[in-house]
Chains A and B, each alone.
Chain A
């Protein structure tokens, strides 16, 4: 139901022409889009009722993300809801929740999360940005890279190192940092897919003690859950995108005539499409399985890694095969396929690429 109506709304209100125009826009989305997302109840979909939300499940959110992946909807929805709201709900105390969640649901508050630093990875060893105790509060110094939508965010959840433990998972703390705080420099990255990501520099950014999201020094389990949700949520977008790419390829092959017949009658191309369908369906089951586990509150690290390892490679194969099926038009700027292909390459990397997740699974195989 949500899925069907979301597809209609996005196709109507945010067609591909708008997606294209937003690529060159500094903000990257229109305030009207954000307002209508709030009015439709999307921004508060997973937010508890007491904060003005609909208290939907992760799977409900997933259906929406899949449609946004299909429509390439720009804007900070993923950052605000999948990274921000869900992490605050998971790890924040009541004071933190009441401070942030109502604003998210009603469209006033934009959030994001900053994890990765120099190596571009998503493991605990990646978190090096220092948060030194200063009086009763903290001072953050260091930098974060590839932070989505930081250029418009009101708050950023920052994974910082508050102490050095025996291994990298110890001594991590999550902080909710107002972006208007003194000492934060935002430098937008220039990216291939023109999605808005920034480099954040923190120079002695002072925070009160109650900025910590969850327990000081013990932030890794919450961060790990946040990254699992992020990988799965990104996977859901990718499933939607992969299906859209398959659909547009099938349409093209039915219409395009060469040698006096639709090229879709040729087995070489039919087999390409069969392979794409296998990749799309495989992605769907693997990602849905992970989403289901998360939605039910079950342990999901294995399923998330299976899903992201698979969908990262599968979506790239789907895009590359689709370009081949389209012939030269497939790599023109004019064709919508390239919008998906460029994004797929970035989505592949976010929250762990296939190699990252295979290393995690291999650790399990070691017994």
Chain B
């Protein structure tokens, strides 16, 4: 594993940092956490800026309008964007759907869907989890019945991030209820404006609307929106999951939270001492190890290796590190930690309590820590099933 970035990689990092200094609103990330509406407005604005530079899809091959950027450049991009809390990236369209269509999509699908993602004009969401299918995703029961040139979709999805903002959804549906559970699933692209699609908000304990329930009532989906072969969608979905797991976001956001916390303690208490110093240093060591684990995954990909247990380890450790940092933050701030951004005495404008309230989802979304540990043990360490 290479522990040094090349000159061109360092140049890119600097170019990105200069760009963020210029383009992010003044004081971004230093005040209260923006409301979802503010965040969304900034997301759209920054996404266009990123698209103009080709950075939104920098990891795509040249033939699809990308820059063919290495996974290392992609990692640097995600690391700095995450550290700055910069809005604009596109986890669903650019990082999941795009690469999936490049492998499984028809020429027509690629022509139709990829350019709008690259231009940052369309929001995708991911319809995977269902009320009765969480970690056991392959047990999903949303049905797509054959109806001539169409599928007719009935059922519901849940925990769908950004469904209320999305134009399109990539959705897993059951097309053969009689086949073994992994073999009767198909991967469809659904226009969220289709009649019969209904989105209902789920409020989380951070007081924000990020997740949704999505209901399908006899929704007609053209068969040209089937990605890959019918009944083989599980394998499309599994490929797609591999694009979202380098884990650098966890390390970078953890480090940012920790740096903010250390700066606050330093300035407000005149020093970092005693158990606080030990706790912050322990979290610091963990964020460094999390960063190295994510680098390792990206480095393996850049060398043409397929990270397997490494990606799961990075996800588990990074997400749990973020939780520990947020938890330490709450302990360090004591009673003041509870104060929200509306309170004028809130330390760090309430960002620590906001992070803590959000931190619970980290070890649940994108594969729970328990599922990840199963993967590490069975696929990674070869323990028997």
Measured CB to CB, the residues of A under 8 A from B are 246, 250, 253-254, 262, 264-265, 267, 269-271, 273-275, 277-278, 281-282, 285-286, 288-289, 292-293, 296, 306, 309-310, 354-355, 357-359, 361-362, 365-367
Contact = CB atoms under 8 A, between A and B. Distances in A.
Interface stretch (B74-82, B193-201, B211-219, B288-296): B288-296
B272 interface: yes
The DSSP consensus for interface residues of chain A is helix
A290 to B, nearest CB: 9
Contact of A282 (B1, B262, B317): B317
Nearest to B271: A366
Given A274-B312, A274-B373, A277-B309, 9 more contacts: A281-B293, A282-B317, A285-B289, A286-B285, A288-B3, A306-B289, A361-B284, A362-B277, A365-B272
A242 B54 CA distance: 44
B374 A270 contact: yes
A365 B271 CA distance: 10
B377 A274 contact: yes
A303 to B, nearest CB: 8
Contact of B285 (A254, A273, A289, A361): A361
9 contacts: A254-B384, A267-B377, A269-B383, A271-B377, A274-B312, A296-B4, A309-B282, A310-B289, A355-B278
Contacts of A285: 1, 289, 292-293, 295-296
B261 to A, nearest CB: 9
Among B1, B3, B296, B372, find the residue whose CB has the most chain A CB atoms closer than 10 A: B3
A271 B373 contact: yes
B280 A362 contact: yes
A270 B376 CA distance: 8
B269 to A, nearest CB: 11
B266 A367 contact: yes
B112 interface: no
Contacts of A277: 309, 313, 376-377, 380-381
B5 to A, nearest CB: 13
Q: How many B residues touch the partner, as a band?
A: 35 or more
A273 B317 contact: no
B22 interface: no
A271 B266 contact: no
B313 A281 contact: yes
A101 B168 CA distance: 70
B255 to A, nearest CB: 12
A367 B373 CA distance: 37
Contacts, number: 124
Interface-central residue, A246, A270, A309, A310, by most chain B CB under 10 Å: A270
Q: Which 10 A-B pairs have the closest CB atoms?
A: A270-B377, A358-B281, A285-B292, A274-B373, A362-B277, A274-B376, A361-B281, A362-B281, A264-B383, A282-B289
B310 interface: yes
A273 B284 contact: no
Contacts of A254: 382-384
Contacts of B384: 254, 262, 264-265
Given A273-B377, A362-B272, A253 B278 contact: no
B163 to A, nearest CB: 32
B14 interface: no
B316 interface: yes
Interface in B246-303: 262-263, 266, 271-272, 277-278, 280-282, 284-286, 288-289, 292-293, 295-296
B264 to A, nearest CB: 12
B385 interface: yes
B281 A365 contact: yes
A282 B293 contact: yes
B292 A274 contact: no
B1 A270 contact: no
B313 A286 contact: no
Contacts of B3: 288-289, 292-293
B224 interface: no
B204 interface: no
Contacts of B244: none
B1 A358 contact: no
A306 B3 CA distance: 15
A359 B373 CA distance: 32
B370 interface: yes
B133 interface: no
B278 A289 contact: no
Contacts of B309: 277
A293 B313 CA distance: 24
B208 interface: no
B116 interface: no
B280 A365 contact: yes
Residue among B266, B282, B289, B372 having the largest count of chain A Cβ atoms under 10 Å: B289
A273 B380 CA distance: 10
B239 interface: no
A270 B381 CA distance: 9
A362 to B, nearest CB: 4
Interface in B170-191: none
Contact of A359 (B278, B292, B385): B278
A362 B278 contact: yes
Contact of A278 (B272, B278, B281, B376): B376
Interface in B350-385: 370, 372-374, 376-378, 380-385
B259 to A, nearest CB: 9
A365 B373 contact: no
A273 B263 CA distance: 37
Contacts of A262: 384
A273 B381 contact: yes
B288 A286 contact: yes
Nearest to B274: A362
Given A278-B317, A285-B1, A365-B272, A253 B383 contact: yes
B373 A358 contact: no
A281 B295 CA distance: 12
Contacts of A358: 277-278, 281-282, 285
A160 B296 CA distance: 42
Contacts of A282: 289, 292-293, 313, 317
